[in-house]
Amino acid sequence: MISDLAPRLLVPQRLHRIGDGKGCKRFDAARILSLRPSYNYVSPRSIIMAKLIYSAIMSLDGYIEDKEGKFDWAEPDAEVHSFINELERGAGTYLYGRRMYETMMAWEDATGPGFDSPVMQDFAATWKAADKIVYSTTLQAASTSRTRIVRNFDPWAVSELKSSAKDDILIGGPGLAAHAFKAGLVDECHLFFIPILVGGGKQALPDDVRVKLELLDERRFDGGTVYLRYGIRT
């Protein structure tokens, strides 16, 4: 993403002292203009920021979990999981709310039934290597490595993180993502649609947010899942 903070990109190279050496009694407008500080100007378009990406696996009717709070129907098969692994390999930081973090904590050990396949171990390695920021007012301590707890979602702090991060940032969970959408921080959406209707539950996308999207990529999988990658139009 391109920063528009142009004033920060003007770097003064030399400053001139204006005057005749005798107290600067008189000023010549033309001379003053000719002695303006010179700058090296760097175009804002050359300043690249990390992208904040909202990623979600949802039912065709737009829910990440059903009315009973279950989401076993959204478990990706090996083909989809391998694709997700490649997408998330380039991420350096995950942003989570407490509930999503507690769901993802199992990847810290990634042992036991269900974790023994190469695709699962591949994802576990990627997840453990990334930094995690957890937004919670109740969680007292992190149970995973490379994790810090933040009490409140601060849009300015996230914007600064985007400016300084070398790799993209993934935000998980619709509640936390809603804050990022409303603050105008989300750059892309990576949405996986599972071929099922659940009839209600927790929405994947927030209410009261209106943004224009541009389709950047799509993919269909053998099991019927469809991946859509959207960019946010500004």
pLDDT digits (tens, 9 = 90+) for 16-28: 444 444 444 444 5
Task: Mark whether 17 and 125 lie in a shared domain.
Answer: no
Residues 66 and 24 in one domain: no
Q: Please tell me whether residues 23 and 130 are part of one structural domain.
A: no
**Domain of 160?**
49-233
Q: Tell me whether residue 1 is in a domain.
A: no
More confident call, 181 vs 35: 181
pLDDT tens per residue, range 48-70 = 789 999 999 999 999 999 999 99
> In angstroms, what is the C-alpha Rg of the chain?
24
**Which residue has better confidence, 45 or 101?**
101
pLDDT value, residue 27 = 43
* pLDDT at res. 37: 47
Pair 17, 96 in one domain? no
Instruction: Give phi and psi for 17, each to the nearest 5.
Output: -90, 125
Contacts of 232 (CB under 8 A, 6+ apart): 186, 187, 188, 189, 211, 212, 213, 214
Q: Specify whether the CB–CB gap between 56 and 71 falls below 8 A.
A: no
Residue 130 has pLDDT above 60, yes or no: yes
Partners of 226 in the β-ladder? 193, 220
User: Do 194 and 228 fall within a single domain?
Assistant: yes
> In sequence order, what are the residues at sequence separation of 6 or more whose Cβ sits closer than 8 angstroms to the Cβ of residue 132?
93, 94, 96, 101, 142, 144, 146, 147, 148
- The answer on 135 and 78 residing in a single domain is yes
The pTM for the full model equals 0.79
39 part of a folded domain: yes
Q: Report CA torsion sign: 62, 64, 68, 73.
A: positive
221 within domain boundaries: yes
pLDDT at 48: 75
Q: What CATH number is associated with residue 93?
A: 3.40.430.10
Q: Are residues 59 and 143 in the same domain?
A: yes
Considering the domain architecture, whether residues 40 and 61 belong to the same structural domain is answered as: no
Residue of higher predicted confidence among 194 and 234: 194
Of 29 and 158, which is predicted with more confidence?
Answer: 158
| Mean residue pLDDT across the chain | 85
Q: How many domains is the chain partitioned into structurally?
A: 2
pLDDT of residue 45: 41
Angle at 192 between CA 64 and CA 205, to 5 degrees: 45
Does 37 lie in the same domain as 107? no
Tell me what pLDDT residue 4 has. Answer: 38
* Residue 234 banded pLDDT, cuts 50, 70, 90: confident
Alpha helix (H) ranges present in the chain? 29-34, 78-88, 98-104, 118-129, 155-164, 174-182
- Which pLDDT value is given to residue 14? 37
Tell whether the model's pLDDT for residue 152 goes beyond 90.
Answer: yes
Rounded percentage of the chain residues whose pLDDT exceeds 90: 76
Please tell me whether residues 23 and 137 are part of one structural domain: no
Answer yes or no: do 97 and 152 share one domain: yes
